[in-house]
């Protein structure tokens, strides 16, 4: 008797893709273009996704690294990752009209940093060295903040008073690795205080949780996202740590290698918080053409979070009658 062919399938993670902070940042640039006309300058990548940046460029956004590249008096949007206070000062000095698209959940971490610095705490910031969000948060209180980039750096911490130390974190870290760093910190500093609420944001936590749930059933997990996207990179790590045989990060379906699919029955698919869903659809089409036509969406958590656009933009939208 002939054996039945094994059915190839896709386990599609949900929540995936755009979070409320990314959606707000992208819409901010789109609305700024409508209200002020092009060019609208954007300091740094508005969100860490190649496709999003290229699409906004085609609509008239000009991406720069620093305020000094923006002509005096122009409109500049600050990215979702947040900026240090000195960046606002520089914008004022150059008479720029600044629209701040910093995600409100990053702003919350900035506020915590300011508050604890005011109370003269030493602050241990867990995050990735050089990441824009970490640079922005550190800039709120540089003399109080020390960066710890993973559990192995805990030994380098030096504090003035062990009873007055708090840890904060970047919003897009691996939940598990961060808790490992915190455990190591607590062994060294038993009186270490925790942030008043989770700094790793809801979107990062939810996307990691779904990948944890599906990884063991998948031989391969494809994460759609860019190489400079912290939360997307973490999804690849989480997939590998939780049972997937292999996992890759791709910007586009065209980057998927045929060899990755050899002997694979179940492919997990997800995307980072800065990825529009049409890129995931293209991956599903690619897989469909190769026999993975059955798609099972797995949605253990329903996200309802939304954020208002920046106030300064909303006022100008109302004045210009832009909806």
Annotated binding site: 19, 48, 81, 103, 131, 171, 201, 229-231, 274
What residues between 241 and 280 interact with ligand SF4 by CB under 6 A? 273
DSSP 8-class letter at 193? B
Q: Which is nearer to ligand SF4, 39 or 139 (CB)?
A: 139
C-alpha span between 92 and 181 (Å, rounded): 38
Of 98-106, 155-163, 211-219, 293-301, the window that binds ligand SF4 (rule: CB under 6 A) is 98-106
Q: Cα 316 vs. chain centroid, distance in angstroms? A: 28
Catalytic choice (54, 72, 86, 133): 133
252: its two tokens: 């586009």
Count interface residues toward ligand SF4 (CB under 6 A): 15
- Site residues for ligand SF4, 218-237, by CB under 6 A, read 231
DSSP 162: T
- The widest CA-to-CA distance across the chain, in whole angstroms, is 80
User: What would the x/- binding string for ligand SF4 be over residues 3 to 42, using CB under 6 A?
Assistant: ----------------xxxx--------------------
Is 92 marked active-site?
no
Q: Shortest Cβ distance from residue 107 to ligand SF4 (Å)?
A: 9
Please give the residues from 166 up to 205 whose contact with ligand SF4 meets the rule CB under 6 A: 171-172, 201, 203-204
Q: Are strands 9-13 and 266-271 parallel, antiparallel or unpaired?
A: parallel
Going from the C-alpha of 24 to that of each of 27, 46, 61, 253, the distances in angstroms are: 5, 10, 16, 26
Sole binder of ligand SF4 in the list 11, 80, 173, 236 (CB under 6 A): 80
Helix (H, G, I), strand (E, B) or coil at 269: strand
Closest CA to 274 of 25, 11, 1, 4: 25
Catalytic site residues?
133
Binding site for ligand SF4 (CB under 6 A): 19-22, 80, 103, 105-106, 171-172, 201, 203-204, 231, 273
């Amino acid at each position: 008797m002939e054996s039945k062919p094994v059915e190839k399938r896709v386990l599609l993670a949900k929540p995936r893709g755009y979070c409320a902070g990314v959606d707000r940042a992208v819409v901010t640039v789109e609305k700024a273009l409508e209200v002020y006309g092009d060019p609208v300058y954007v300091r740094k990548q508005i969100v860490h996704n190649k496709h999003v940046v290229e699409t906004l460029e085609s609509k008239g956004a000009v991406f720069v690294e620093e305020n000094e590249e923006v002509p005096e008096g122009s409109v500049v949007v600050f990215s979702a990752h947040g900026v240090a206070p000195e960046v606002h000062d520089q914008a004022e000095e150059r008479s720029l009209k600044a629209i701040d698209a910093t995600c409100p959940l990053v702003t919350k971490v900035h506020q915590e940093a300011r508050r604890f610095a005011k109370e003269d705490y030493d602050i241990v910031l867990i995050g990735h060295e050089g990441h824009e969000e970490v640079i922005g948060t550190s800039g709120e209180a540089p003399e109080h903040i020390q960066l710890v980039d993973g559990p192995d750096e805990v030994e380098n911490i030096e504090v003035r008073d062990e009873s007055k130390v708090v840890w904060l974190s970047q919003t897009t870290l691996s939940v598990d690795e961060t808790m490992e760093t915190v455990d190591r910190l607590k062994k060294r500093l038993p009186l270490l205080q925790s942030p008043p609420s989770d700094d790793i944001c809801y979107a990062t936590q939810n996307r990691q949780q779904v990948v944890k749930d599906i990884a063991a059933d998948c031989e391969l997990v494809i994460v759609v996202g860019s190489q400079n996207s912290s939360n997307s990179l973490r999804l690849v790590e989480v997939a590998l740590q939780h049972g997937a045989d292999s996992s890759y990060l791709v910007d586009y379906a065209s980057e998927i290698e045929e060899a990755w699919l050899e002997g694979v029955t179940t492919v997990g698919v997800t995307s980072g918080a800065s990825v529009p869903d049409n890129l995931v659809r293209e991956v599903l089409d690619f897989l469909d053409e190769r026999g993975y036509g059955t798609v099972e969406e797995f949605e253990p958590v329903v996200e309802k979070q939304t954020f208002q656009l920046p106030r300064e933009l909303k006022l100008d939208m109302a004045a210009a009658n832009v909806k």
